[in-house]
Amino acid sequence: MKSIILKFYNDIFKVYESIIIMRNKFISLTVKPPTVRTTDETLTKLIEEKASISRFGDGEFALMNGKDLLFQPYIPLLARRLKEIIKNDQEKHLVGIPNVFLNLDWCSDKASAYWNRYLNINRFKIYRMINFNNVYYDSLVTRLYIDHKDKKLAKKRFNKYKQLWNNRSIVIVEGDKSRLGIGNDLFNGATSIERIICPSTNAFEKYEDILNEVIKHDRLKLILIALGPTATVLAYDLAILGYHAIDIGHIDIEYEWFLQGAEEKVPVKSKYIGEIPNGTNVQDIEDQRYKKEIIVEVV
């Protein structure tokens, strides 16, 4: 009896999903996609104009639709802030959404299959959230390697990124197992590095504490934030306050994969990666430089 009921519900779900896919495919043919600047245009804007950026991806869209993430449960205030920011248009602050709505020629086969299916399920929901009058920038600007079909561009783009913090003091706001730049040379050009360590799960619960720690710093410092959806909100609020703040996301993990010449997403033993099997099984490290860079822990 249970198997019959289960089959019935599975069949209903398949019909429902087919209707959703048909609707989203129809929308893709009849509604002009949002304007999203390319990865390189986004990079140029960040570096040459010292623009800040808040990035939206599948995780942020899920939260805005009331769903939990592995590392960030749904919080109504967080969802409201994300909905506010994605429609905003502030000078010196970019809003990033994935540059996947028009074509996926740049993607690897695996990434292309993911985004095709994702848009077939979610395009309508995303279109309801955005402002079609705005110019958006590529939120995948921090994902420069693993999902790209042509990986030869990665070195040039990583080197361009390094111009952002070359000869600048930086403050890294990150989860307690992110450890950006540890074990590689990504931030070697910075004159100094300070770290504000935050919870790796449900960071938004400590949002006010995190914000208050960051604004103790001089506005001349570059603020790099790797903190999931909390980073999306924090980069916006800091930009409004006159900081140069980058929602830097997975840049360090992508750089690790680039240095390894990886063809698939693989765990990095000392760094938290929430999107792959065993990626959250992170080893402790004894790195004196890292420990000295930590100026505060928000717990």
Answer yes or no: is 7 within a domain.
Answer: no
- Round to whole Å and give the CA distance between 290 and 3: 54
Answer yes or no: is 272 within a domain.
Answer: yes
SS3 238: helix
Tokens of 252: 């360090």
Answer yes or no: is 17 within a domain.
Answer: no
Answer yes or no: is 62 within a domain.
Answer: yes
Number of domains making up the chain: 1
Answer yes or no: is 16 within a domain.
Answer: no
pLDDT of residue 7: 53
Q: What is the pLDDT of residues 128-182, one digit of tens each?
A: 999 999 999 999 999 999 999 999 999 999 999 999 999 999 999 999 999 999 9
Instruction: State the DSSP code for 198.
Output: E
Q: 0.85 exceeded by the pTM?
A: yes
pLDDT of residue 269: 86
Residues in the chain: 299
Answer yes or no: is 108 within a domain.
Answer: yes
Q: Residue 101 CA to chain centroid, in angstroms? A: 17
Can you give the residue range of the structural domain that contains 196?
33-297
Answer yes or no: is 173 within a domain.
Answer: yes
Q: What is the pLDDT of residues 74-106, one digit of tens each?
A: 999 999 999 999 999 998 999 999 999 999 999
Tokens of 73: 């449960």
